[in-house]
Amino acid sequence: MSDSDLSEQERLDNLDPLRHFRVEDESILPSQPPSTKEQIQSFNYGSLTVQLLVDASPGCGGIAWPAGHVLSNYLVHRGPSYLQDRHILELGSGTGLVGLVAAKLGASKVTVTDQLPLLEIMQRNINLNSLGQTVVSKELDWGKELPELGPIDVILAADCVYFEPSFPHLVNTLEALSRQPGRDCEILFCYKQRRKADKRFFTLLKKKFTWTDVDDDPQSEVYRREGISLLRLRPKP
Ligand SMILES: C[S@@+](CC[C@H](N)C(=O)[O-])C[C@H]1O[C@@H](n2cnc3c(N)ncnc32)[C@H](O)[C@@H]1O
């Protein structure tokens, strides 16, 4: 997205801060508007299907966002061998979608996390997909004390950059989680560019992480046109 496009987005945000949650803005909005209440939808990623209860009432995370679909598709592209015998942690999981995809692909353990109001919908989606043996839901609020999680192999985060006051908390949480003595932890971070202010997130991130674009995703050309990037983050030594 060009700087002038971003300026226009920011001008519109100032006029109407909630506009991202309105249905008319098809280019930015996820396919489910926030009026969505207790609907069960089916999402397909390759041959894999996830049943998802979506409900916007507990907050914006109650519906599925574009970067979540991109990250889900990428996991399917990587296939089961990428996730087998690994503990996957998803941050800002909302409905739990990406974590559920990871579990369906064969991850040995998945922890989906979000703020307290989203716990119920995550748990209902775990049950709906009969994944209670593999997936647990936990409250993990960026900037607050971390719950007990055990060793983590992969951290997933989709569409978590949108609220400026959370930026430092998200960066600190990523750092605290990924610096595990004697263990390499991979972070897949899927981001949709919406506002010029997002640059501040990357300024903060740069102090603690380096990153590269994921370069083996056959769908990247399509989603990059929508302002979505899939990044692999590494903590700076
Ligand atoms: C735009 S939604 C994306 C949800 C999901 N990852 C997806 O792609 O569909 C952002 C998510 O971040 C969560 N979030 C926002 N601030 C948070 C915080 N301080 N701690 C934990 N999660 C947070 C929201 O509750 C929401 O579920």
pLDDT tens readout for residues 8-34: 766 666 665 555 554 344 344 455 555
In this prediction, residue 28 carries a pLDDT of: 42
State whether residue 192 is helix, strand or coil.
Answer: strand
| Ligand 1 atom 26, closest CA | 61
Query: How does residue 195 score in pLDDT terms, banded at 50, 70 and 90?
Result: confident
Reading the block at residue 146, the tokens are 């971390």
CATH of the domain at 126: 3.40.50.150
Query: How does residue 236 score in pLDDT terms, banded at 50, 70 and 90?
Result: very high
Ligand 1 center–CA 98 separation, angstroms? 12
CA distance readout (Å), 103 to 13, 49, 85, 95, 191: 36, 12, 11, 14, 22
**DSSP 8-state secondary structure symbol assigned to residue 144:** S
| Ligand 1 atom 21, closest CA | 141
In this prediction, residue 36 carries a pLDDT of: 76
Query: How does residue 183 score in pLDDT terms, banded at 50, 70 and 90?
Result: confident
Q: Which residue ranges have their beta carbon within 6 Å of ligand 1? A: 59-61, 64-65, 67-68, 92-94, 97, 114-115, 118, 141-142, 158-160, 162, 166, 169
What's the whole-number mean pLDDT along residues 188-206?
92
In this prediction, residue 176 carries a pLDDT of: 96
Q: Higher pLDDT residue, 230 or 38? A: 230
In this prediction, residue 145 carries a pLDDT of: 96
211 annotated as ligand-binding: no
d(C-alpha 198, C-alpha 162), whole Å: 7
Ligand 1 center–CA 120 separation, angstroms? 14
In this prediction, residue 29 carries a pLDDT of: 47
Ligand 1 center–CA 215 separation, angstroms? 25
Ligand 1 center–CA 160 separation, angstroms? 5
150 dihedral zone (left: phi>0; alpha: psi -120 to 50; beta): left
Q: Higher pLDDT residue, 14 or 114? A: 114
Domains held by the chain: number: 1
92 annotated as ligand-binding: yes
Reading the block at residue 87, the tokens are 């503990």
d(C-alpha 63, C-alpha 55), whole Å: 6
142 annotated as ligand-binding: yes
Ligand 1 center–CA 80 separation, angstroms? 25
| Ligand 1 atom 11, closest CA | 92
Q: At residue 1, does pLDDT exceed 70? A: no
In this prediction, residue 45 carries a pLDDT of: 96
Provide, rounded to the nearest whole percent, the portion of the chain with pLDDT above 70. Answer: 86
CA distance readout (Å), 53 to 33, 56, 131, 162, 222: 14, 10, 14, 23, 27
What does DSSP say about strands 48-54 and 87-91: parallel, antiparallel, or unpaired? unpaired
**DSSP 8-state secondary structure symbol assigned to residue 219:** T
201: domain range? 3-235
In this prediction, residue 194 carries a pLDDT of: 83
Measured in degrees and rounded to the nearest 5, phi and psi for residue 187 equal -120, 120
Q: How crowded is residue 194: how many other Cβ atoms within 10 Å of its Cβ?
A: 18
Query: How does residue 201 score in pLDDT terms, banded at 50, 70 and 90?
Result: very high
Residues 6+ apart with CB under 8 A from 33: 21, 22, 23, 56, 63
Ligand 1 center–CA 61 separation, angstroms? 5
Indicate which atom in ligand 1 lies nearest the CA of residue 59.
25
Mean pLDDT is lowest, of 30-44, 91-105, 155-169, for: 30-44
In this prediction, residue 20 carries a pLDDT of: 53
In this prediction, residue 93 carries a pLDDT of: 98
Query: How does residue 60 score in pLDDT terms, banded at 50, 70 and 90?
Result: confident
d(C-alpha 70, C-alpha 231), whole Å: 11
Taking 3-state DSSP, the helix, strand and coil percentages for the chain, each rounded to the nearest 5, stand at: 35, 25, 40
135-175 tens-digit pLDDT: 999 999 999 999 999 999 999 999 999 888 999 999 999 99
Q: Please choose, from the candidates 74, 73, 128, the residue with its C-alpha nearest in 3D space to the C-alpha of residue 96.
A: 128
